[in-house]
Structure 1
Amino acid sequence: MRFTMVRLFWTILLTLEHRGESITRHTNVKCEALDKSFAEFPVCNLKVLGRGVIAENMHIKLLKLPVQKISVNIAVYKKLSGYHPFLFNVTADLCHYLKHPNPMNLLHYIYTAVKPFSNFNHSCPYNVSTNLIYHDIVVKDFVLSDQMFAKIPYPKGNYMLSIKFATDDVWRIRLNTYFDVDLEKQN
């Protein structure tokens, strides 16, 4: 455990480039239902809100309820000559995290960044209301900000954040978000 933390610390220090004024933005998003009988995506796109401000919108319609046991896999890839694993590939129990949030967990950084833009505020089992819209997970106008990368700094480049969700140990959904870090400011 100690070796992993030391290796992570040195990896971050060695890969950092000039941070200056960082600019981050979405470049693409892909949503895939690995089990089409479990979920579908009525909306999965990027929307330009203003000059250089790109928002991610997503609507996940859950077709099988209740959802009892949710595992989430978070992996970061950096584009070199194709996308290659970079720094993180973590699998966590989402239900356990929602009951016992841990700010030292990678899942915490992603959850707290997306939470203000989403309706995902339920605990497990995920079966909240008789109104079907409450079962859907909606992310609206999620914009990346430089503050999101303050605790986990990335060197300049193109990245893909891959998030997979599993229920009952079967992978059901994959979300790939592509983003750029440290773009040159356009005047």
Structure 2
Amino acid sequence: MPNIKLVAAHCKFTNLHCETFDKQALEFKKCYIKAVSRDYNYITIFINLKEVVRKVKVRVSLLKRANGWKPFLYDINVDGCQFIRNPARNPVANLFYQFLKEFSNINHACPYDHDVLIDKLTILNGTVKLPFPLGEYALDTQWVINNRMLLRVNGSCIYWKE
């Protein structure tokens, strides 16, 4: 039986990959994991937008490593512009947004005519209180911007308790 408990746990980032499909529309200036200590690291992503963003559709998939990556609980599509206006309307997307919002300038509805920054995103001990089994998880996001598939960001972390 899996070890499922509501615990205050760490989530240490292990991988991050940022990909753009049209460098005329946007470009990643930064996309990295910075290790500060053995148990503490953070993510920084800086996206230079070269056109005004008026529509955003995001597909978010959560995966768990178990003899390869397997879908785990969530695979959702979100209208990003509508979501930012009222995050409470989509509790699953809001769960992910709560981790992101204090580290990001993604804080208003469309249009976006400025660069997007996620700066030093970390998930510290006690931040994560989810009834998930301990283990390795990945988040895969695909972004359709102004009706074009423009970027994909995915990463993984180890969810563990001391």
Tell me the TM-score normalised to structure 1 length: 0.77
1:118 maps onto 2:104 in alignment: yes
Matches within 5 A, 1:69-148: 69-102=55-88, 104-127=90-113, 135-148=114-127
Change (3 A) 1:94 1:21: closer
Distance 1:46 1:54 in 2: 7
Identity of aligned residues (%): 27
Which one has the largest radius of gyration?
1
CA contact (8 A) 1:103 1:109 kept: no
Tell me, which stretches of 5 or more residues in structure 2 are unaligned?
none
Give, as a single letter, the amino acid of the residue that structure 2 aligns with 1:60. Answer: I
Give, as a single letter, the amino acid of the residue that structure 2 aligns with 1:160. Answer: A
Q: CA deviation at 1:94?
A: 0.8
SS state at 1:102 partner: helix
Change (3 A) 1:20 1:94: closer
Give, as a single letter, the amino acid of the residue that structure 2 aligns with 1:53. Answer: Y
Question: Which residue number in structure 1 is paired with residue 46 of structure 2?
Answer: 59
Question: Which residue number in structure 2 is paired with residue 25 of structure 1?
Answer: 12
Choose 67-76 or 15-24, whichever is displaced more. 15-24
Aligned counterpart in structure 1 of residue 131 of structure 2, from 132, 136, 153? 153
Tell me, which stretches of 5 or more residues in structure 1 are unaligned?
1-13, 128-134
Greater strand fraction, Structure 1 or Structure 2: 2
SS state at 1:116 partner: helix
Tell me the TM-score normalised to structure 2 length: 0.88
Listed one character per residue, the Cα deviations across residues 126-168 of structure 1 (whole Å, up to 9, x for unaligned) are 12xxxxxxx1111111111354432x43211111101111123
CA contact (8 A) 1:16 1:153 kept: no
Distance 2:92 2:33 in 1: 24
Listed one character per residue, the Cα deviations across residues 27-75 of structure 1 (whole Å, up to 9, x for unaligned) are 11111112232221111111122341111111111122x2111111110
Distance 1:63 1:175 in 2: 18
Give, as a single letter, the amino acid of the residue that structure 2 aligns with 1:46. Answer: I
Task: State how many pairs are aligned.
Answer: 162
CA contact (8 A) 2:10 2:126 kept: no
Cα RMSD (Å) of the superposition?
2.1
